[in-house]
Structure 1
Amino acid sequence: MSAVNTLIYPVADLAAAKQVFTTLLGTEPHTDESYYVGYSVDGQEIALDPNGHRKGLTGATPYWSVDDLEATVAALTAAGATVSQQPTAVGGGRTVAVLLDADGNMIGVMQG
């Protein structure tokens, strides 16, 4: 597995969250859409997802980049994780899934 390179925050009020994160990060977002606001800070993607709560995200979720999403999900579930969000294409050739460890901590994985 690669390093965590994306951290996604579920937000209810995208405009308010964008103001806070633009101030916190000291930069404007590189992507500013109604469905996703993304910032790049030293190679780290910090994103705001207004649909995150609906998808089951309960807080900031780290996403690990993997070469084979299906194999990674299978290995993690065999190790005891449970799938919270099934693999989903999110655009740009990227697919994501979210799993929960035994304590309910969210583990995001992405390919593409």
Structure 2
Amino acid sequence: MSTVTYYADDVAEARAWYAEFLGVDAYFSRNAPDGTLGYAEFRIGDYQAELGLVQRQFEVTPSEGPGGSILFWAVDDLEATLDRLFSLGAKVHDEPRVRGEGFVTASVVDPFGNILGVMTNTHYLAVAQQNRDKRLG
């Protein structure tokens, strides 16, 4: 995964919400033709993947509600992450589900109507550790 894009009617509000959740501010932004914030981008995770927030008016395939593919973010503590998301106004999309040993997924709908997946996954952690070891050694 290189970039995931989420849409919001108010990108400035979404940028503030994600900055609060992630604990970092967006590193890049661009205004829309009307002068409002049209795009904001964060770098997140072990591989500094991009999370882009785009004004909903630019969405190519708009939908009436949450839907589509779900991108899962690997987190260290699923329960704590869900608690934090709920405290920031996210709503349950799918309760935590054990998918196999060391592999649990859940998803929420952010205040802007996007599905945000979170997971603990020992397989992902092993690959991330191998890549860290390669960089160090």
Q: TM-score, normalised by structure 2?
A: 0.39
- Higher RCO (C-alpha 8 Å, min separation 6): 1
Query: Which protein is richer in helix relative to its size?
Result: 2
Rg larger in structure:
2
